[in-house]
Each structure stands twice: as structure tokens, then as C-alpha cells.
Structure 1
Amino acid sequence: MDIDLIQISKNNNGSAAVAFMSYTNLSSILHPSLFNQTNDTVKTMMSAVISVTLPRTANQTLTTPVNFTMKHIAEIDPKGTLSCVYWKNTEWVEDGCSLLQTNNSHSVCSCVHLSTFALIMQTEALAGEDSDPVIDVLDTVAVAVGLVFLSLTLLTFALCHRNPRVTNTARINLCISLLLAHLLFLLTQKFLHNIRSQQLLCAVLAGMLHFFFLSAFVWMFIDAALLFISMKNLTKIRSNEKAGLLWKLLVVIGYAVPLFVVGVSAGVVPGGYGSERCWLKTGFLWSFLGPVAFILTANTILFICILIIIISTLTNMKSKSLKIKRPESEHRFIVSVALKTMIQFIILGCSWILGFFTQDSKALEIIFLFLNSQQGTFIFLVYCVLNQEVSHHRFYLSAMAN
């Protein structure tokens, strides 16, 4: 704070004092939405709330404006507008305050009077160019439907535990990670308006989302690797002592790897969590996109290898069926395997690759949202609903390890 206390003291018989206070929790009460300059924007508190008074000073007239340098508590949007405001009765107003200068971390405000001050940023409303109401509704509905089927899948696995296997364990943990990630994401976006102003809570939620989504991707990779092993060897991974040890090892890998990534990321860039969407800040996205890109590449390669094995095996089966004259039943089996193989592409998370290309295409964005919010639906369809339809085919049982 830069205040001309000497001049003020001259107006008060040579004596003057100033009290400066900073409130860390008051911004959640005096919400930035109470700044009503523009109605079609999102308002974000960009600083702590500060208060300045002249105690026991009769003449509080300021001969020169008071300047405040405030540290930003949120990430600046290049398209946003910063406003220096003070609290007047029941709202934030700008009267007598102006923004002198700003950079990525601090802003300087100037006011001609003393009061309770804050820095507020206005950005385009979410229903503007960066968001589509139809896509927002579709996203919410699709995620909710996916959550229902993830819950049904977990319930089915819990009730039908007569022959558990390592692959089922991987899918159970995949469903758990997806369920927690999508549920937390849905709740965070639903109450984003209230959460955004609480920086610590916003950062914690971003860290939890980072962990759960990374965990889901690690389990997708584990599922893809187990499926490839089953396809290549045409053998089941049975629930024996060796499988029990493998199960414990997979659980450690499935949760320790994302925890390690989140821990290192938070240690290297402590302020990387808590963007306007309560997600990772722009320069910190590498801590999520890097591991995800690696896993998607690996899963795509594994899926191509699995597809080659399936095509080769089905070709052999078709030639044998022609010799014994049973083409109809084998044709139905081939169609069933082909359908499940395409669905497996989504279950293994390969469809997340579309996320790198949705920026300029609404159609791709809708397809991306639908496919990846419905992973739980496809898992339920393949491993719960359609599981018994092909149980008499040794090839498919070996391929899917059911």
C-alpha cells in the first residue's frame, strides 16, 4: 500500500495512523457476483479482500490517491477484464477506483478514498463462444447415464463373484476410477460458481480429478495388456496363488503410478492446480496430457495387435467352417466378435484420442463426449449383458478372459 500519511498527519495536528487488514476468507461471503457492472459475464475474485482505515483521525480527506499492489489468487484470462472495486453497502462498485497496471501475478489499484477493496476479473459467460448450452446439457446427461451403468457394472461384478479373475479385478478398478472421476467432475462443474472463489478447495478438487482420471487411464492400460496376453496365449489367467500375487501387484501399479505423477507434479509446480474450471492451469496441463498421450499410444498399439490376432484367428475358423459346412453359426459368431472388438476400442480408452482434435469441430466434440462418458455403459454391455451369449466359444472366452 502506498499512502501519503505525512500529508494526512499535517491535516490532523501532526498525527495520523493507518490500519491495513487482509481477509483470506471474506471473499466467499462478499462474492464477486455482487459486482453488477455487466450481467453477461462470469466474475472471479482475483485478490484477497483488503480493508484500510484511518483510526482516530478526524480529517480523513486524501490529498492524493491510495495505491494498492495486490497479488493474484487465480489465473488471469487474457480475454478477461480486471476491475478495482470497493464494498459499498451490499455490492462491489468502482466509483473512485481504477486499475493502474497489471502483470501475470500482481495488479496495482488506485482509489481516492479508503474502504474495503478487491480485484475482480470479468470474462465471457460460459454460454458464450467457449461453451455451447446444448453440449453442456448433453455432457451432463451423458455423464449421468455413464455413472448409472458404472454402478450397475460394479454391482454385477460384486454379485457374480463365483469365478473371479485378474482381468475382472482390473475392470472393477477401472470402473471404480471412472465412477469417482466422472462423479467428482460432474459435482465440481455443477457447483463451480460456489467453488471457484475458494481457491484451496478448488485446487484440492483439481488434484483429486487429476489422480482419478490418471488412475482410470492406468487401469485401461493394464486391461489392454492383460487382454493382449490372453489373446496371444489363448489362455485364461486363473484365480490361483500366482494370480493372487499378480492381482496385488496390479493394484499397487494402478494407484501408485497416478499418485506418484500427481505428487511429483504438485511438488514441481505447487500452484498448478485450481484453474477457472477447478482443473489444471494452462501451463500445467503437461502433467496430465503427457501420461495420457503415452497410455493412449500404447493402448492403440496393443489394440492393433489384438485386432490382427482376431482377424487371423477368424480367418482360420472361417476356412474350417466351410469344410464342415456350418457357415451360418460361424457367421453369427464372427459378427458378434467384430461388434465386441469395436466396443473394446472404446473400453480401452482409445477413443480419448479424439480429444486432441475437438477444438475446432463441434461434431467431433459431441462424439468425444458421448463415447468417453459411456465407457461404463460399454463395459456393462460387453462384460455383463452379453457375456453369456458366447460362453461356448473357447476362442472368445480366451480373448476376453471372462
Structure 2
Amino acid sequence: MLASFTWMGLEAVHMYLALVKVFNTYIPSYILKFCIIGWGIPAVIVSLVLVIDKDAYGSLADEEIEMVLDSTEAFCWIQNDIVFFVTVVAFIGLTLLCNMSVFIMVLIQIKRIGANKLAANSHGSVLDLKAVASLTVLLGLTWSIGFFSFGPARVVLVYLFVFLNSLQGFFVFLFHCLMKENVRKQWRIHLCCGRFRLREYSDWSRSVTVGDRCKKKNLVNSDSVTSGSSQ
């Protein structure tokens, strides 16, 4: 769980560097450093808990869990409430708070970019709605519903929490693979067959090829003119 939220926090950092702080963001060994942070921080937290109290983790299977999960099998979980709130709740809350800040900054940046383009209001609204939905899922902001699952609306929020977060990976795949035109084109090139298959050399690649040929032709002509003038 800690690793999942750490990686969602790193996704927010990556989004901030890519969309907000665009310039002067070169980081050597970028992916390696992200991997060290993404797996290192959870490992350090769990190790510290075990060093401080070796009995902090243990089997958990009370009557309420047996009733909810319909199972009598115990599973490993934190035994101390203080440890749970410090190492899990506080860590998740801090990560979601940082992700929410990046979420707002990225939306402002997207709005500024969209304002510079001439587009219809309806089309722009659909794109903005898609961006909000995809960013919400990617940054794990749906997990914040768990902090508000109390009171009269607790049952509804718990169902919404389970639905959104259990399908988080599917939503990431939906927004960032299925709904991207360039990804769909690659699928049609490599996976589809028959009339659904897209030729590898599409209009875009042909235009690039023609452009390259024109450039080469101009270079040849310029070289011949230069050699003729020198003669």
C-alpha cells in the first residue's frame, strides 16, 4: 500500500516537471532515482516500524473482518493504532495533499494552453472533462473518499470508494491507452487484421518520407549549384 501511494506521488512529481516546470528539468538517471524512491521510502518506513517494535505487525482476524470478508483466514496487518495512523494514514494523507496541489497546478496549466488555441467551446469542455477525469485517476485522488466515509453517507461512499479504487488500473488503461489516438493507431498497425488493420506507413509517415525526400533533393540541388559556382 505504501509503495502504491509513493508511486502515485512520483507520478505527480513527473507531471509537475513535464507540464508546469517545463524548462531546466534534466535529471540524470531519472527512472533509476524514481525506482529507488518509489520502493525505498516504503521499505524504510516498514523497517523502522519493525526496529522500533518487532510485534507491530501480526495476524488480524476479528469477528468484524470475518463478517465483512466472509472468511476466517487471518492476514498480516498493523496491530497498533498509533503506528497505523502515523505510518499509513498520515503518509497517505500527505501524498494525496501533494497530489491535489499538483492536480490544481496542472489544470491551470492545461487551461492556459487551451486558451491559446482556437477551439469550439463544447469540444474544449469535453477535453477539459477528460483531462480532469484522467488526472484524478492517475494521481489516486479517488482514495481521498476514504477520509469522508463516515456519517449517514458512509455506505454510499464506501461502495464508491471500492468501485473507483479497485478499478483504478483499468481507468488508467482506459484514459491513457484506449482514448489516445496515437496509441489506437499503433494497435491497429500491430494487432488488428483485415480492414481494421492500419498500414505501417500511414499518411503521417508518408508525409514525413516525402518531406525528407524534398529536403534531400534541395540539398542535392544546393550542392550542385555550389559546385557549379565554384567551377
Give the alignment's TM-score, normalised by structure 1.
Answer: 0.38
Separation in structure 2 between the aligned mates of residue 247 and residue 304 of structure 1, nearest angstrom: 25
User: Matches of residues 359-378 of structure 1 in structure 2 within 5 Å?
Assistant: 359-360=150-151, 361-378=154-171
2:54 matches 1:266: no
What is the match of residue 145 of structure 2?
354
Q: Would the alpha carbon gap of residues 356 and 233 (structure 1) be closer, same or farther in structure 2, given more than 3 Å must change?
A: closer
Runs of 5+ unmatched residues, structure 1: 1-212, 322-326, 392-402
Separation in structure 2 between the aligned mates of residue 377 and residue 226 of structure 1, nearest angstrom: 21
What is the match of residue 311 of structure 1?
111
More helix by share: 2
Q: Is the contact between residue 57 and residue 78 of structure 2 (CA under 8 Å) also seen in structure 1?
A: yes
More strand by share: 1
**2:78 equivalent among 255, 270, 280:** 280
Q: How far apart are residue 358 of structure 1 and its match? A: 1.1
Q: Is the contact between residue 314 and residue 334 of structure 1 (CA under 8 Å) also seen in structure 2?
A: no
What is the match of residue 17 of structure 2?
229
User: Matches of residues 3-402 of structure 1 in structure 2 within 5 Å?
Assistant: 213-234=1-22, 245-274=29-58, 275-276=60-61, 278=75, 279-283=77-81, 284-285=83-84, 286-317=86-117, 321=118, 327-328=119-120, 331-360=122-151, 361-388=154-181
Separation in structure 2 between the aligned mates of residue 251 and residue 244 of structure 1, nearest angstrom: 13
Matched to 1:231, the amino acid is: L
Q: How far apart are residue 243 of structure 1 and its match? A: 6.3
Separation in structure 2 between the aligned mates of residue 233 and residue 282 of structure 1, nearest angstrom: 41
Q: Is the contact between residue 5 and residue 95 of structure 2 (CA under 8 Å) also seen in structure 1?
A: yes
Separation in structure 1 between the aligned mates of residue 28 and residue 112 of structure 2, nearest angstrom: 32
Separation in structure 2 between the aligned mates of residue 332 and residue 390 of structure 1, nearest angstrom: 21
Structure 1 consecutive aligned stretches of length 4 or more whose deviation exceeds 4 Å = none
Q: Is the contact between residue 221 and residue 298 of structure 1 (CA under 8 Å) also seen in structure 2?
A: yes
Q: How far apart are residue 273 of structure 1 and its match? A: 1.3
Separation in structure 2 between the aligned mates of residue 333 and residue 343 of structure 1, nearest angstrom: 15
Separation in structure 1 between the aligned mates of residue 30 and residue 182 of structure 2, nearest angstrom: 29
Cα displacement string for residues 167-187 of structure 1 (whole angstroms, at most 9, x for unaligned residues): xxxxxxxxxxxxxxxxxxxxx
Q: How far apart are residue 219 of structure 1 and its match? A: 0.6
Separation in structure 1 between the aligned mates of residue 18 and residue 57 of structure 2, nearest angstrom: 39
**Larger-gyration structure (1/2):** 1
What is the match of residue 69 of structure 2?
none
Q: How far apart are residue 220 of structure 1 and its match? A: 0.3
Q: Is the contact between residue 137 and residue 172 of structure 2 (CA under 8 Å) also seen in structure 1?
A: no
